[in-house]
Structure formats: C-alpha cells, structure tokens
Chains A and B, each alone.
Chain A
Amino acid sequence: MTVTKTDARVTAAGGGEPAAAGEPAGPARSERLTALVQQHGALAVLVVVSLVASFSFESFATGDNVGNMATSSAFLAIVALGMTFVIITGGIDLSVGSLFALGGVLAAWGSRHGTLVALLLPLVVCGAIGVVNGLLVARSRLAPFIVTLAAMLGARGLMLALTDEGADTYLIGKGSFLAELGQGTTFGIGNPVWITLALFVAGAVVLRRTRFGQHVYAVGGNEDAAALMGAPVARTKILVYTLSAVLAGLAGALNAAWLASGVTILGNGMELEAISAVVIGGTLLTGGLGYVSGSLVGVLLLKVIQNVINQIGSLDSSYQQVVSGAFLAVVVVAQTWLGRRRQLV
C-alpha cells in the first residue's frame, strides 16, 4: 500500500495551445483560480468562521480567549510543521502523536537533571526514532504508513515503560527555565506562541529558499524524475522523517513545560489532527505541493472550530471530531476534484 505517485506523464493537456510559445491561453484564468482556492481556501474559511464567531459569541474575540487558543494551537502547529514536510515528499507520519507524548515525558523526567538535558533528551530520542523511520522508508522501501504505525506503537510503549505504565507523572519544577519557556509570556504573548512562529518562519525559509526544500518538493512531485535530476532522494526522505520526529518531540517538551508535567495520556490521535490540518491547509496528500503557512492556518481553523463548539454550551466537545472528519473528507474530495481538473490525477 505505498502511496502511489501521480503519473509523471504529462497528459496532452489543454488541446491545441500554442505551447512552444508557452502561453496556454484559455485555461490560465481558471488555473489561477484553482490554485488560489487550493492555497488560500482555508484562510478564507478561517476568516469567515472567526468573524461569525466574534459576532455570535461575546467571549470569542476577547484577549483571554484568543490567547488561550493561540497557546493551545502552538503545540499542534509545531507537529503539523514537521508533518507538512513529510506529506510534501508524498509520505505520512503516524508516529507523531506518540512522539509528542514521549517528548513530554522525557522533558519532564530530564528536568531533574537540568534544563539542557530536559530540552536535548526528547529531541535526541525522538530524532533517533525519526531516523529509523526514515531509513525503513527510504532504504528498505517499506510503506510509510506501516513503518510509522509501528513507530507509533513502539514510542508509546517506550513512554509507558519510562513512566511505570503511565502511573508516574514527572513534574517540572516551578521557576525553572523550562517552566518559564512553557508558561511565561513575552510582550503579553505566551512563549510557546513565539517559538512556534519562529519555527514556522524558519520552516518556510527552509522549504522555499534552500536546496533541501527544493528537493523535498522534487521528491514528492516525481520521485523518479527527481532521482534522474540528481536530487538525493533517500537522504531527503530520511531528513524529513527525522525533522518530523524532532519537531513532535519538541512540541511535546514545550507542552510538558506549559503543563509543568509530563502527562502520559496526551498525544492520542494527534497525528490525525496534524494530518487534517496539513491537508486542510492546501498541501497535497499525493505530495509535491504544499505550504507551511497553510498548515498554520489549518491548525488555527481546527482550534477555532473547537473553540466555537465549546462556546455553544449545549454541544459536546466530541462534535469537534465529527466536524474535523467531515471537513477532512470534504477537503480531500475537493482536492482530488481540483487536482483532476488540473490534470494531476
């Protein structure tokens, strides 16, 4: 069940367009419109939902509520950032939820040995798992979903083993640098939010402005062609799985710092939320096309919807999942449909 790539064959598109001259006349406008919807559709929905919500609920557009939403979005956003890279290469990483929990536990456990250990330990351990994922996917050519599914199980097992089957909860001491990192604010905005923003800026620069970023797109766009064009396919894949795992571990560590403890029950289903956010943000699941900014918008959209559902007091929070699932289905169908229109499929 490998994720099959769309055929590299360029179907004889657009009929008799004067191609050597290069300007396909007719489809250009609808093409641009399709691209616009693909890239910014989620942002438009986010704006509309936020506006409606702020008119409908007094407590929605308050500083407190927005601040809370921002901070709680931060951790998912960091996970989604790594997932974006993986999905652009045409892969998928189901292990991030477990790595998130593992990262939190490791950070809390390590905080007893100093801030440096608390920060480095989750990154190193999760990174190592990511390297294994990458090697199995890139070198042994196993299907990404099954490899990362196994890693999800293994990482959760490791986390439970560390916490005496979830019975132990390690605490992070108040006033430590780590706690400050998670709980403190700078200019009135939570530190995790600043860190997330910085990571997204860095992620965008890496993806758009470095050769590695170009390789990520190339591998996802057409792996065989990328190899022929000299892109280091295996290395790129190993790197994205490692990056995804490291970011998941970091998000877990920050989350633990925020909560002041390594909570073992977190991260269940987080991989699904992250994938949903990435896809909603306009990244193609078949790879080759995607935006870091879109993933951020996707995360915010999910969190705003969650917040709105919470505001409607009569609704249970599980509606969130129904809405997410339905939303994901709609986006995927729309993507497939748009893609077919653009003759990607």
Chain B
Amino acid sequence: MAEATVRSVPLDRARILQWLQTYGVYAGVALLLVVNIVITPHFLSAENFRTQAVQVAPVIIVALGMALVIGTEGVDLSVGAVMALAASVTALYLGYGLLPALLVVAVFAAGVGLANGALVAFVGVQPIVATLALMVGGRGLALVLLPQLEDLRNPALASLGSGDVLGVPYLILIATVLALLVAFVVRRTTFGRQLLAIGDSRPAAQLAGLPVRRVLIVVYVVCALLAAVAGVLATARLQASDPTSLGNLMELSAITAVVVGGTPLTGGRVNIAGTVAGAVLIQLLTATLIKHDLPPSWTQIAQAIVIVCAVYAARGRGKR
C-alpha cells in the first residue's frame, strides 16, 4: 500500500509536468486573457487586440526561425543583429525602390546565416559562440553602414508598415503566413523531417545518410532571413531605420517564446503553434504589467522568471 502511494506521486508529478509542457503555454495565454478581461478596462476592443498583435508580429517571425535552429539542438544569438542590419541596409538602398532594397537585405541576411551555418556545420564551433561572433560583428556592421537613426519616407515601405487588408494589418498577415509556412515545412517536407532527425540523434541521422551539414546551413540561413523580414517590418512600422536599438534583446525574446512554447532546447522537436503562443504569452504579460502602470523593470524580472520556470519544466523530459 505504502509503496503504491510512494510510487504514484512522482508519476503524477511527471504527468503534470508533461501536461504543463504541452498545454501550459495555452493555459497561460487563456489565463492572462481572462484576467485582463476582468481587471483591465477597455481590454476587449478590436483596437487593443490589433495593437498587441502588431507589436508581437516581429517577435513571432524571429521566433519561427529560432524554433528551427533550436530543433537542431542549436541556438542563434545573432537574430537581433540581423534585424539591425536589415534596418540599415533598407535605409541605404531604399533609394533604388523597395524591392531592390529588400533583395539586398536578403543577400546580407543570407550571408550572416551562411557564416553561422558554416561555422557550426563545417568548422564544428558551438552554436552559441559562432552566432555570438556574428551578433557582435553584425550589429557593428549595421552601425557602420548607418551610424544613427534615419527617418525613412517611402510610401511603399510606409504602407507595408501600417497598411491593412480588410482591417487586418499586413504585419499580422505576414506573420500568420510565415507561421503557417514554417509549420508546413516542418511537417510536410523532406527538409523538415531531416531537421528533426538531426536534432534528435545526430549519429543516427549521419548513419542514415542524411545531408547533415546542408540541413544545418539551410536552417541558419532561414533563421537569418526570417530575422531580416522582422527587421524590415519593424523598420516599416517605425518609418525609421534605427540600427542602434532595433532588435536589442530580440534573441532573448525569441528563445523565450520558443522555450515557453514547449520546444525543448535539446532538439528533435519543433512546436510552431506553441512558439507563436509563447510569443503571445510574453506580449500579454508585458501588456498587462504596463496597463496596470507597473514599470518595464517588472516585466523584465517577470520574463526572467518565466524563462527559468519553462526551462526547469522542460528539464525533466529533456532528452528521452
């Protein structure tokens, strides 16, 4: 009897942890919604939801790429720098029109991703360090290209930032489309399955003849490209290029969204819906604190606690 109860306790705990990991983020979002509906005045307005969604869109886009990288048991610290780089390059080449500018942005971002991927896949540098180098260098390059904030006056860019379709801002549309696209890639393409296999068991993937290096490089390039998209969108919304502060701490927000969303840092699993929900959760948390006149410092402390809790919860299940 006594034994049975002793045994059932850790089992229940494991089950609770498991449940928290899979659905905790949605429960958190729901809880925050309910709390806000009750205590926050004017929370239930289309305008408010629109604002929140527009604010969270860039984080979601960056977190999508981060989720892919974390799925391979890596991490990309350079995403914030890539956003800044995208902002500078946009400002520099906007004179030639929006599309050419976007192409140049893509080239720069792909370059950063390629460098990250090559360092990780070919040289064998740990992802943290490889992307750290690009984080420092990338931000520097952004500032070299454009030393200070510059106002941008381009109608196409402006409409990208603040335009909408049937009341839904472009930003939200783009983030939604990208989230669906990435989810599709993870679920339905060769690349997606190879990525998960590599993250789950690198030796087995290698022995199964998978193109491990190619997949890793593509993952880092995709992550950089997504960060660049977020950078351009954020710039379009601001109507100004701000390489000094754009994307600061973005790597942290993205990692938080991914981890809170139930994607383990140990690789082999990518939860796109959870990642989106994770970003939304952090956004709601921040908004709640701000609306109730709690200073940003509280938000940061709260976010730190959420990260540690999420990682701690994921720890038990970690790798098998």
The answer to whether A and B touch directly, with their CB atoms under 8 angstroms apart, is yes
Cβ of A285 within 8 Å of any chain B Cβ, yes or no, is: yes
Name B248's closest neighbour in chain A (CB-CB).
Answer: A268
Instruction: Determine which residue in B125, B129, B249 has the highest number of CB atoms from chain A within 10 A of its CB, and name it.
Output: B129
Query: Contact check: which of A1, A160, A337 meets B297 at CB < 8 Å?
Result: A160
Cβ of A157 within 8 Å of any chain B Cβ, yes or no, is: yes
Q: A318 to chain B: which residues have CB within 8 Å?
A: 140, 142-144, 147
A321 to B88, CA, bound (A): 15
Q: Using an 8 Å CB-CB cutoff, how does the interface string of A271-291 with B read, 1 for contact, 0 for none?
A: 010011001000001100000
A154 near B305 with CB under 8 A, answer: yes
Name A273's closest neighbour in chain B (CB-CB).
Answer: B136
Instruction: Give, as a whole number of angstroms, the nearest-CB distance from A342 to chain B.
Output: 14
Instruction: Determine which residue in A1, A145, A316, A340 has the highest number of CB atoms from chain B within 10 A of its CB, and name it.
Output: A1
A328 near B265 with CB under 8 A, answer: no
Cβ of B230 within 8 Å of any chain A Cβ, yes or no, is: no
Cβ of A174 within 8 Å of any chain B Cβ, yes or no, is: no
B312 near A165 with CB under 8 A, answer: no
Cβ of B128 within 8 Å of any chain A Cβ, yes or no, is: yes
Q: Can you name 15 A-B pairs with beta carbons within 8 Å?
A: A145-B75, A150-B305, A150-B308, A150-B311, A157-B296, A157-B304, A268-B248, A272-B132, A285-B126, A322-B141, A324-B137, A325-B133, A325-B140, A329-B130, A332-B129
Cβ of B73 within 8 Å of any chain A Cβ, yes or no, is: yes
A157 near B301 with CB under 8 A, answer: yes
A140 to B308, CA, bound (A): 11
Instruction: Give, as a whole number of angstroms, the nearest-CB distance from A256 to chain B.
Output: 19
Name A156's closest neighbour in chain B (CB-CB).
Answer: B300
Cβ of A99 within 8 Å of any chain B Cβ, yes or no, is: no
B308 near A147 with CB under 8 A, answer: yes
B265 near A332 with CB under 8 A, answer: no
Cβ of A199 within 8 Å of any chain B Cβ, yes or no, is: no
A159 to B295, CA, bound (A): 12
A336 to B124, CA, bound (A): 7
Q: B126 to chain A: which residues have CB within 8 Å?
A: 3-4, 285-286
A3 to B73, CA, bound (A): 11
Cβ of B138 within 8 Å of any chain A Cβ, yes or no, is: yes
A149 to B259, CA, bound (A): 13
A142 near B312 with CB under 8 A, answer: yes
A143 to B70, CA, bound (A): 13
Q: A157 to chain B: which residues have CB within 8 Å?
A: 296-304
A164 to B125, CA, bound (A): 41
Instruction: Give, as a whole number of angstroms, the nearest-CB distance from A163 to chain B.
Output: 9
B137 near A325 with CB under 8 A, answer: yes
Cβ of A300 within 8 Å of any chain B Cβ, yes or no, is: no
Q: A140-B312, A153-B304 are in contact. Are A145 and B133 (CB under 8 A)?
A: no
A142 to B311, CA, bound (A): 7
Please count how many residues in chain A sit with their CB below 8 Å of the partner chain's CB atoms: 52
Q: A146 to chain B: which residues have CB within 8 Å?
A: 255, 259, 265, 307, 311
Q: A279 to chain B: which residues have CB within 8 Å?
A: 129
List A224-278 residues whose CB lies under 8 Å from chain B. Answer: 268-269, 272, 275-276
A160 to B126, CA, bound (A): 33
Cβ of B74 within 8 Å of any chain A Cβ, yes or no, is: yes
List A124-178 residues whose CB lies under 8 Å from chain B. Answer: 136, 140-143, 145-147, 149-154, 156-161, 164-165
Given contacts A153-B252, A319-B140, A325-B137, 15 further A-B contacts (CB under 8 A): A143-B265, A145-B75, A146-B255, A154-B305, A157-B301, A157-B302, A157-B303, A157-B304, A158-B301, A161-B295, A285-B129, A316-B147, A318-B140, A321-B137, A325-B134
B140 near A328 with CB under 8 A, answer: no
Cβ of B9 within 8 Å of any chain A Cβ, yes or no, is: no
List A1-54 residues whose CB lies under 8 Å from chain B. Answer: 1, 3-4
A329 to B298, CA, bound (A): 36
Cβ of A312 within 8 Å of any chain B Cβ, yes or no, is: no
Query: Contact check: which of A149, A160, A275, A324 meets B140 at CB < 8 Å?
Result: A324
B315 near A1 with CB under 8 A, answer: no
Name B134's closest neighbour in chain A (CB-CB).
Answer: A325
Instruction: Determine which residue in B140, B147, B265 has the highest number of CB atoms from chain A within 10 A of its CB, and name it.
Output: B140
A157 to B306, CA, bound (A): 14
A321 near B75 with CB under 8 A, answer: no
A151 near B134 with CB under 8 A, answer: no
Q: Using an 8 Å CB-CB cutoff, how does the interface string of A328-341 with B read, 1 for contact, 0 for none?
A: 11001100110010
Cβ of B65 within 8 Å of any chain A Cβ, yes or no, is: no
In the A-B complex, the 6 residue pairs with the smallest Cβ-Cβ separation, listed nearest first, are A325-B137, A321-B140, A157-B300, A318-B143, A160-B297, A154-B304
Q: A332 to chain B: which residues have CB within 8 Å?
A: 119, 123, 125, 129-130, 133
Q: Using an 8 Å CB-CB cutoff, how does the interface string of A88-115 with B read, 1 for contact, 0 for none?
A: 0000100000000000000000000000
Q: A159 to chain B: which residues have CB within 8 Å?
A: 297
Cβ of A214 within 8 Å of any chain B Cβ, yes or no, is: no
Cβ of A310 within 8 Å of any chain B Cβ, yes or no, is: no
Cβ of A345 within 8 Å of any chain B Cβ, yes or no, is: yes
Cβ of A320 within 8 Å of any chain B Cβ, yes or no, is: yes
Q: Using an 8 Å CB-CB cutoff, how does the interface string of B250-286 with A read, 1 for contact, 0 for none?
A: 0010010001000001110000000000000000000
A329 near B147 with CB under 8 A, answer: no
Instruction: Give, as a whole number of angstroms, the nearest-CB distance from A334 to chain B.
Output: 10
Cβ of B237 within 8 Å of any chain A Cβ, yes or no, is: no
A141 to B319, CA, bound (A): 13
Instruction: Give, as a whole number of angstroms, the nearest-CB distance from B76 to chain A.
Output: 11
Instruction: Give, as a whole number of angstroms, the nearest-CB distance from A149 to chain B.
Output: 6
B315 near A141 with CB under 8 A, answer: yes
Instruction: Give, as a whole number of angstroms, the nearest-CB distance from B102 to chain A.
Output: 23
A153 to B282, CA, bound (A): 14
A316 near B143 with CB under 8 A, answer: yes
Q: B265 to chain A: which residues have CB within 8 Å?
A: 1, 143, 146
Name A3's closest neighbour in chain B (CB-CB).
Answer: B126
A333 near B125 with CB under 8 A, answer: yes
Instruction: Give, as a whole number of angstroms, the nearest-CB distance from A128 to chain B.
Output: 14
Query: Contact check: which of B125, B301, B303, B308 meets A336 at CB < 8 Å?
Result: B125
